[in-house]
Structure 1
Amino acid sequence: MVGKKSEKALRDEGLERTDNSMGLSSWPVITPINQKNYYTDYLKRDDQLLAYRLQNEEARNRMTKTAKDRDRALALGKQEQADTEADGDAVMEDAEEAVEAETAGSKVIVLHLGSQNLRIGLASDALPKTVPMVIARKSTQNESEDGVEPRPKRVKLNEDENEEDIAPEKRFGTEFASQYTKMSADLKTHMRQNKRRMLPNSKEMVVNYNRRTVPELIPEHNDPSRVEWTEFSNPPPEYITGQRALRIPDDSTPRYKLSWPIRNGWCNEKDYTNARLLFVDISLILEDAIKRELGLTSKKDWPQYSCVFVIPDLYERSYVTTILEMLMKEFSFARVCFIQESLAAAFGAGYTSACIVDIGAQKTSICCVEEGMCVENSRINLKYGGFDVTETFIKMMLFDHFPYAEINLNRRYDFLLAEELKKNVCTMNEGSVSVQVFDFHLRVSGQDTRKYTFKAYDEVHLAPMGYFQPSIFSHDDKLQGRRKLLPRSYDIYDGQPNDPTSAAQSEILKIIAPPLPAELLAEDEKSHSNATDVQATPARSHLNALGRVQDSEATPRSSVAGSPAPETNTPLNGIAAAAAGNSTPVPGEKASQPAVAPAAGASQPSQASQPLQQPPPQPPRTPTIEERDDILPIYPLDQAILASITHAARSDDKKMRDYLGGIMVVGGGSQINGFHAYLEERLHALTPTFTKEIMIGSPPRDLDAQVVVWKGASVFGKLDGTNDSWIGRLEYDRLGSRLLVYKCMWAY
């Protein structure tokens, strides 16, 4: 046994201790935490968030100011006056609250952007102002002269054919003709079952009358309803917005070309070549509307106003963040808050639980609202609306020898004429389906007014029936340019899409989805075969997320010094956006292949001598149904309503009955005579077990269905004391669009 050596022996061996027992550093030593059991409350309490802190500070400052005012009054000897006015404190407080509410309502601007119209007004107004969502810019040609096909689109002619030589029945192709004929035959069968009286030769009467009728010329000075066309100043303006843009003569000097920034509920990526120009046009339309319709001509006054902005139920994050930046920076509003369309409609109607069906000009949204919240899995967005009915009605009338055969919806006066005809003629009441004579006046700048007379039979009913048979609508150009300017928003940590999804919408997309391209299916099968390899290393979710963070360009990189690699390589699954021809880079595309264990008996180099090699890239996985941009959500309206209610009820029979009994239809596309009764009849046929519960309601208090959403947003804007959704300027300057996570009433 070796004993302890003496100091002399240690000194002889050179092992003597020579330090002075002082520490190597003056920095305090931090004891490592126990990795098995530790806890932090960082960002887990409301008082740690800036949005809540500022709100509490404001309330605390208000209480402090009130206390100081009271103490100052007592110090100045106003005790007797305070005692005398004690009895009237309640009345004074009510009066002050009323004045504050009135002031808040008159200082809040409510905006509801649609594909065709903009609703704008103050929260204190009874009804909004309606402005067409269009802008006209100087150009060498207008929108009907730059080589665009006339609308409705006719079949392409051969070189040796003239348009006059083709019969109207063949101008829209055989597919439309067969669908139109089948719908007409089904309507006749249904009318016979309901004992409706009908003439056997109704179609022949309509065609023969329309074929021989000629227009009647009316001099402009004898036309009491002549149109006031837009006159230009000198020099002509660079752009014109709203109703004045639609009244610019097509042959004006200089020429103006119309642009619609919002189409089908999306940003119009088809007609624009620059995303910045698209949002500049939106801001110009809003700016002119605020100045003309609200009388706020000076931009210096705008920082005193707040803004409530209505967004779709299934919104796109890039659109919301850009609009927020526009309202806060360009318009300099004091506060901004967002509200969803269906929730705003429920506010406007005063319903706590309902199924909201909003039929707009080019978009139809369906969502169930329960206790002031949108049920997320019930949200559905369909890409058709009132304009599709207008186009289909004109196409059917041209099929039956419409006397004004040159109609083109790309021309401004023809577009307004077609909208007027749809409102006056179309109906969904089968009792009104008969051979009837109608007339209209065609007013063109610089020409005499022409009065046309025509007959119509079942076209007035079959055109709005396209809501329930949407294949009759034209959907050729609705997906053109999709994701060309505004790429999909992805999470920087896990690479998943940020835009909200819905189980009901996903179910509809799966039903109507076209098959994937063959090359993408082959890559998917190959990736699945690699994933099932028994020698492949399984993926770990936390390592997978970490790898995406490092590969994302939007995330700051780590330091230059390398970190020790994990024990296993992790596959980073990229998102295949090539299904719709999308070439937008997606976080996670720089993927690595899982490491494969070497074969038994193979020589393995040492860890020190083995060079670092980059694993081969992994093929992109098949995109989910929500990530595919080649699917246009088109589905019959009655079946879509049932799908939304089914996902909202979640097999609860009581909720199912409540939603079926609280269906409210809003929007301008629903203002067709007999639409509510026909929709109720279709729902009865689909759900015979709930026949007694189904009820289609209209907005209460005789409120116009087009302004219900705006009215609800104005009510929401007046809830200043209980509304925590306002985004202030100080908060936005510090946190930007990240505030939406804390400020929105729904899961943003």
Structure 2
Amino acid sequence: MPPPPAPKKPLFPVTPDPVTDHPIQPPTIIVIQPGSVNLRVGRASDAFPITVPHCIARKCPNVENSLPDDHMLLRPECSHPEAGQQIRAGLASIEELLQSRPTLAGSHRQLTLPRQLMAFNSQVPSEKTESQDCPNWTDVDKKPPYVVGEEAMYIRPSEHYRLSWPMRRGQLNVHQGPGGTLSSVLADIEAIWGCVLQDHMEIPLKDLKHYRAVLLIPDVYVHKHIKALVNLLLNTFGFGAAIVHQESVCATYGSGITVACVVDVGDQKTSISCVEDGISHKGSRITMEYGGSDVSRLFHSLLARCGVALPEVNLTCPGDVVQLQALKETCCHLDQDQSEISQHALEIHKPDKFVMKYNVKLGDEPILAPMALFRPMAFGLLGQHLIHVQGRNEGDADDPHDEDYLRQTQRQSWAGRLAGSKKDESEMSRETSEQNLSQLDDLTNGPLDEDSNDVPDVMSTSENAKSNRRVEDEEDEDMDDESDLHLMGVDEAIIHCIEKCDSEELRRKLYSCILVVGGGLQFEGAMTWLQYQVWQSMPAQMRLQLETMDIITKPKDMDSSLTSWKGGAILACLDSTQELWVWQKEWKQFSVRMLRERAPFIW
């Protein structure tokens, strides 16, 4: 008898997984969520992650030619000549919106004019009081080469350290200026993450081989950036294994929801994604470059408009920016019924152990600033680069059989099938053409063009080209052109993304469950405003089908800024996700190909 056939060899050899022999150990799993402002890191067994500012200050070797800091609030997109006019038009649109919606009492809001407050606020003196609740200047007498986290934000300007943020607008901060190369950004991330792991979590870097990492990535991601971060975790830090997953999907795990339109309003970007059963629909993802920091900047300008100058707040100083953001969180709201002029005590905590206090009067300023999230024109931002949708994989030398290769082979197969189906028709057409030309030659006694038989082949080539274009069109039908999009408010973006989903039943479920995460939209009354705006703008036939519309801003009474991180911790401990781990040995052998094989989303 012939021997039995040998078993088929898998494409990627499976690394022995100790999880199959030992139970899952959450204390050995590190969940990492790198944000534009805050880095959240913790064990999967922790109730809360460690949150540190995601920044680093490096000592300038040449004091005379030192580079400026990477500012938190100031943006070049706001420096165009039309910015002032655009901001005024946006504020006028917000005021019109506020007046159009009645209050709970049935009346309409009466707006307050800035000049009503200018006379009072301009005469308010500052009160200086001693306080122990103030940040301290960082001691750099030992001249360390770099300082990370909160300490990096409170270095005296005279010490000549340059502050930089390795992530901006949800992506790696790769730019054309000094320190903007991918290798420089990764070096900053390595220094920050290494300090957090050693100093805050007390894990020696040499012991990371006994740990595994869960990396949360943005919904709209850049493939080469994700590859670089996974390489940093597995090759540079030496983690034993890693899982990569999207923030929106992890948010559904953290809130215990299976189907939701996830709205992530962060400090610098706003992302919308429709998630169903652990899958983020690719065509429904959109990221816009505005968030909580833009609300803070607008609030600062509105304060100045009504006479509150706040000379102690310098928008180029990171410590003052933190103070301004604290004022925004204390004063701002989205409560339609708060329409009277009110007294506010604004406190500025300085590192010199004193507090500057201003007792001022504010009218509509606390609601106008966060309302700009629904009318982003008021931010004064301009540029098509502010909107992003998920792009295709640009290809990688380490993955020869990537998406581009599959697309090209599919196109060739399509063209081949079309050419085969046209073969018989072409032969019949050729015979008919030859007979007609022969008869014409007999009548005119003229020579027959030798290339006449090539006419059907040219037609076939044209059909093949059309088929190629047809394949490209089918590939692009679910992909938005960023140039056709405009900067949308949160409510408009929600409707845009939900309507990208094909199934009417799915759209109904998404409209009925909108999950808000991140810290940028956590204002009093935000849930009511968002529900009102989406309900007014959604398709009329969908309003007839909905029984309820739930806007979830604090799932399980949890801080919404921690929802995605908590979901990553839950994901890592599920038995069904243990096959998603990319092991260090596999990564060294197959590199980015492992993400195409193991990532729980279409790579």
**Ranges in structure 1 where 5+ consecutive residues have no aligned partner:** 1-40, 63-96, 158-169, 500-539, 547-599, 605-620
TM-score (norm 2): 0.78
Tell me what 1:734 maps to: 589
- 1:636 counterpart residue number: 489
Return the alpha-carbon distance in structure 2 between the equivalents of residues 496 and 717 of structure 1.
27
Tell me how far 1:355 sits from its aligned partner. Answer: 1.8
Aligned-partner Cα distance in 2 for 1:343–1:381: 15
CA distance in 2, matches of 1:125, 1:148: 32
* Amino acid in structure 2 at the alignment position of 1:339: H
Counterpart mapping for 1:384-423 below 5 A:
384-405=290-311, 407-423=313-329
- Call closer, same or farther: CA 1:241–1:433 in 2, change over 3 Å: farther
Q: Is 2:39 aligned against 1:132?
A: no
Task: Report the residue type matching 1:110 in the other structure.
Answer: V
AA matched with 1:718: C
Provide Cα deviations, 1:22-45, integer angstroms capped at 9, x if missing partner.
Answer: xxxxxxxxxxxxxxxxxxx99xx9
Q: Is the 8 A contact 1:110 1:309 kept in 2?
A: yes
1:259 pairs with 2:164:
yes
Q: Would the aligned equivalents of 1:657 and 1:693 in 2 still touch at CA under 8 Å?
A: no
Counterparts of 2:548 and 2:364 in 1: how far apart (Å)? 31
SS of the aligned residue for 1:257 comes to strand
Candidates 153, 165, 175, aligned match of 2:86: 175
Shift of 1:383: 1.8
- Alpha-carbon displacement from aligned partner over 1:396-423 (angstroms, at most 9, x marks no partner): 2222222215743221222011110111
User: How far apart are residue 304 of structure 1 and its match?
Assistant: 0.7
Cα deviation for residue 441 of structure 1 reads 2.7
| Residue in structure 2 matched with residue 75 of structure 1 by the alignment | none
Question: In the alignment, does 2:599 pair up with 1:744?
Answer: yes
Residue correspondence of structure 1 range 703-718 to structure 2 within 5 A: 703-718=558-573
Q: Which residue of the other structure, out of 127, 131, 135, is the alignment partner of 1:227?
A: 135
Q: Matched residues in 1 for 2:352 and 2:554: separation?
A: 42
| Identity level (%) | 26
User: Between Structure 1 and Structure 2, which shows a larger proportion of helix residues?
Assistant: 2
Change (3 A) 1:174 1:670: closer
The CA RMSD measured in Å over matched residues stands at 4.0
Partner deviation per Cα, 1:208-247 (whole Å, 9 max, x = no partner): 22222221233xxx3232322211242x111111111112
- State the secondary structure of the residue aligned to 1:467: coil
- Structure whose alpha-carbon radius of gyration is higher: 1
| 2:10 is aligned with 1:48 | yes
Q: Is residue 248 from structure 1 mapped to residue 121 from structure 2 by the alignment?
A: no
Question: Is the CA contact (8 Å cut-off) linking 1:144 and 1:411 kept in structure 2?
Answer: no
CA contact 1:383–1:633 (8 Å) conserved in 2: no
String of CA shifts for 1:192-220, please: whole Å, max 9, x gaps.
Answer: 896447667653332222222221233xx
Partner AA of 2:513 in structure 1: G
Compute the displacement of 1:494 (Å): 11
Could you tell me whether the CA contact under 8 Å between 1:213 and 1:403 is conserved in 2?
no
Q: Distance in 1 between matches of 2:340 and 2:499?
A: 38
1:646 is the counterpart of 2:499:
yes
Calculate the TM-score normalised by the size of structure 1: 0.64
Structure 1 distance, partners of 2:82, 2:381, is 17
User: What code does the residue aligned with 2:246 have?
Assistant: Q
Instruction: Report 1:433-472 matches (<5 A).
Output: 433-446=339-352, 449-472=355-378
Shift of 1:709: 0.3
Q: Secondary structure at the match of 1:180?
A: helix
d(CA) in 2 for partners of 1:262 and 1:350? Answer: 29
Once the two structures are superposed, residues 105-134 of structure 1 have per-residue CA deviations (whole angstroms, 9 ceiling, x without a partner) of: 010110001111111000110111111111
Amino acid at match of 1:441: E
Distance 2:202 2:483 in 1: 44
Conserved? CA contact 1:202–1:435, under 8 Å: no
AA at the equivalent of 1:302? L
Which letter does structure 2 place at the counterpart of 1:358?
D
Of 29, 33, 45, which residue of structure 2 is paired with 1:112? 33
Compute the displacement of 1:629 (Å). Answer: 7.5
In the alignment, what sits opposite 1:294?
Answer: 201
Deviation readout 1:491-522 (Å, 9 max, x if unpaired)? 779999879xxxxxxxxxxxxxxxxxxxxxxx
Distance 1:262 1:336 in 2: 21
Structure 1 contact 439–452 (Cα < 8 Å) conserved: yes
Give the AA of the match of 1:224.
Q
Residues matched between the structures, number: 533
SS, match of residue 32 in structure 2: strand
The equivalent residue for 1:204 is: 115
**Shift of residue 439, structure 1, vs aligned partner:** 2.1
Instruction: Return the offset for 1:365.
Output: 1.6
1:591-740 equivalent positions in 2, closer than 5 A: 634-648=487-501, 650-652=502-504, 654-687=505-538, 688-690=543-545, 692-719=547-574, 722-740=577-595
Q: Please give the alpha-carbon distance, in whole angstroms, between the structure 2 residues aligned to 1:329 and 1:383.
A: 32
Q: Quote the offset at 1:187 in angstroms.
A: 2.4
Q: CA deviation at 1:697?
A: 1.7
Q: State the 1:382 CA deviation.
A: 2.0
Task: Indicate how the Cα distance of structure 1 residues 320 and 246 shifts in structure 2: closer, same or farther if over 3 A, else same.
Answer: same
Distance (whole Å) between structure 2 residues aligned to residue 406 and residue 631 of structure 1: 42
1:242 corresponds to which letter in structure 2?
A: G
Letter in 1 for 2:39: L
Deviation string, structure 1 residues 247-295 (Cα, Å, up to 9, x no partner): 223x332x11211111111222345432210111111111111112211
Q: 2:549 aligns to what SS in structure 1?
A: coil
Q: Distance in 2 between matches of 1:401 and 1:292?
A: 44
Q: 1:214 aligns with which of 98, 102, 125?
A: 125
Residue type of the alignment partner of 1:48: P
Q: Secondary structure at the match of 1:48?
A: coil
Contact conserved, 1:683 with 1:694, CA < 8 A, in 2? no
How many Å separate the matches in 2 of 1:329 and 1:386?
Answer: 35
* Cα distance, 1:57–1:292 mapped onto 2, change above 3 Å: closer
More strand, by proportion: 2
Please give the secondary structure, in 2, of the residue aligned with 1:204. helix
Change (3 A) 1:193 1:730: closer
Equivalent residue for 1:273?
Answer: 180
Deviations 1:634-678 (A, max 9, x none): 212112112222223x242x3332222221111111211111111
- Closer/same/farther in 2, CA of residues 141 and 291 from structure 1, 3 Å limit: farther
Offset, 1:443: 3.6
Structure 1 residues 396, 723: closer, same or farther in 2, change over 3 A?
same
What is the CA distance between 1:145 and its match in structure 2?
6.2
Query: Is there any run of 5+ residues in structure 2 with no aligned partner, and where?
Result: 417-446, 452-468
Cα 1:544–1:137 shift into 2, 3 Å? farther
Q: Secondary structure at the match of 2:499?
A: helix
| Cα distance per residue 1:286-323 (max 9 Å; x no partner) | 11111122111x22111111000001122111011101
Checking the alignment, whether the CA contact within 8 Å between 2:128 and 2:357 is kept in structure 1 is yes
Query: CA deviation digits over 1:530-584, x for unaligned, max 9?
Result: xxxxxxxxxx9439999xxxxxxxxxxxxxxxxxxxxxxxxxxxxxxxxxxxxxx
Change (3 A) 1:181 1:331: same
Hey, what's the Cα distance between the residues in 2 that align with 1:47 and 1:156? 59
2 CA distance for matches of 1:156 and 1:677?
34
Report 1:181-192 matches (<5 A): 181-191=92-102
For the residues of structure 1 that align with 2:120 and 2:287, how far apart are their CA atoms?
Answer: 41
Equivalent residue number for residue 461 of structure 2: none
| Counterpart AA for 1:121 | G
Alignment partners' CA distance in 2, 1:208 and 1:57: 71
